[in-house]
Chain A
């Protein structure tokens, strides 16, 4: 085992040590099997823990935006509030709905959670903390994240409840529309980065993040991605599927207990996933801030572990999403579709073209100042 003294806090030191010990003592099959199981357990745990942290953070930040304190009774500063909520949700009865489509009703939450779980696996949390790294990573993420909508539509359909149905249809229309914009925004950056693989994309952003590299075009793509990602996660101001006065709770009206917990978890994790994809694609992922020529500075920055950088950047984007959520009034369904089809999509197409021209003519920052970035 060779300790990496330059980056002693990296988890990849631990994982590579684990890998070499397992391979040294076991045959390759068993070593791989144990590693797969470990990765799955760690990812599932991280999924639940991140959701709990996000729920707490959201409630606190929401409260601060509304000049309140937020949860502050359970544990110090209410830190255990979301744990208590989780225990409550686990203990609740799972209600069987009369004349609902039993099989689909029970299957629907799993579609939702599996889709977000699959996307979750493709996130690069840090150097070497990357479960799935296809050479078509961006395509994979957009493909599996769109599976979640099946869970939503199934939930609405199988609940035998017109409010759930309307909520699910709204959610479906919204999701399908905004998926398009999110895909195009990612495509713009794929043009700039020249790769679809997340790890290569992150390495390419060592000295110049994609959001700066493609300047105008990148920033437009970034904003569009954040808007459409926000809309995809069905959160305010785009929370049309959940309208208390019109549709009660939308597609998950009839769900209770753990099944509702799945939707709840997936909603929060989708927010995290959108933020982390945006971090990876636009903000250099787990890369520390590095400047050409400033070796001392670079070393200090690189001393901070990569997962801290990743979670820090993601947290900023999540805060941005909460800020937007508590600033703007809800949209009507026609305004929602107007925004997508009349504004975001045309701008996006023009932006994609602009990015292609920028890359071809070498007007990106790395193209203009090759020594600096």
Chain B
């Protein structure tokens, strides 16, 4: 190809691609705005279900949770944000049993790696997408996840969260 034809073909392909680019941006001009007007649209704001903002321990309507106080989450936590305090009780048939006393989680230390949820054998904890976690004092970041007076759910029941979700 001679340099002259190269010059002109370059010129015209250049013009063509510029027009193509402008048509793309013209279409983009009329697309829906993606900015979230956050404080105003709290009612309609959609946060992904997979967003990890706050560790929670789901309780059912009988105020029962699934945590057996095995402490695997505490062992797996890379930052030591979880403290599982257990206590020994004596059941009706005279057996000794370890149950959950308090489940402490420190939001300020958590990196939201999800290792605790992944390793929990009884699916007792999960991450929620409630992201408005700002507080005024650091002590408020320390949370107790098990509710007051809650107890372990009986074995036969279905787990609250099915496996694999």
Contact = CB atoms under 8 A, between A and B. Distances in A.
Given A67-B34, A324-B22, A327-B21, A343 B28 contact: no
A328 B21 CA distance: 7
B115 interface: no
A343 B26 contact: no
A67 B21 contact: no
Given A67-B28, A343-B11, A323 B33 contact: no
B35 interface: yes
Nearest to A68: B35
Interface string A205-229: 0000000000000000000000000
A327 B37 contact: no
Interface residues of A, number: 13
Contacts of A324: 22
A17 interface: no
A303 interface: no
Contacts of A326: 25
Interface string A103-126: 000000000000000000000000
Contacts of A69: 33, 35, 37
Given A324-B22, A327-B22, A328-B21, A67 B31 contact: yes
A65 interface: yes
A64 interface: yes
Contacts of A343: 11
Contact of A328 (B18, B32, B35): B18
Interface residues of B, number: 16
Contacts of B33: 64, 67-69
A289 B22 CA distance: 27
A67 B34 CA distance: 6
Interface in A44-101: 64-69
B29 A327 contact: no
Contacts of B25: 65, 323, 326-327
B25 to A, nearest CB: 4
Nearest to A73: B37
Contacts of B7: 342
A327 B35 contact: no
Contacts of B35: 67-69
Contacts of A327: 18, 21-22, 24-25
Q: Interface centre among A65, A67, A69, by most B CB within 10 Å?
A: A67
A67 B22 contact: no
Interface in A15-59: none
Interface string B17-48: 01001101110110111110100000000000
Contacts of A67: 28, 31-35
Contacts of A66: 28
A288 B111 CA distance: 65
B29 A64 contact: yes
Interface in A306-362: 323-324, 326-328, 342-343
B50 to A, nearest CB: 23
A68 B28 CA distance: 11
Contacts of B31: 67
A328 B18 CA distance: 8
Nearest to A72: B37
Nearest to B18: A328
A65 B28 contact: yes
Nearest to B26: A323
7 contacts: A65-B25, A67-B28, A67-B32, A67-B33, A68-B34, A69-B35, A327-B24
Given A65-B28, A66-B28, A326-B25, 6 more contacts: A67-B31, A68-B35, A323-B26, A327-B18, A327-B21, A327-B22
Interface of A: 64-69, 323-324, 326-328, 342-343
- Per CB-CB distance, the 9 closest pairs between chain A and chain B, nearest first, are A327-B25, A327-B21, A67-B34, A327-B22, A68-B35, A69-B35, A67-B31, A67-B33, A65-B29
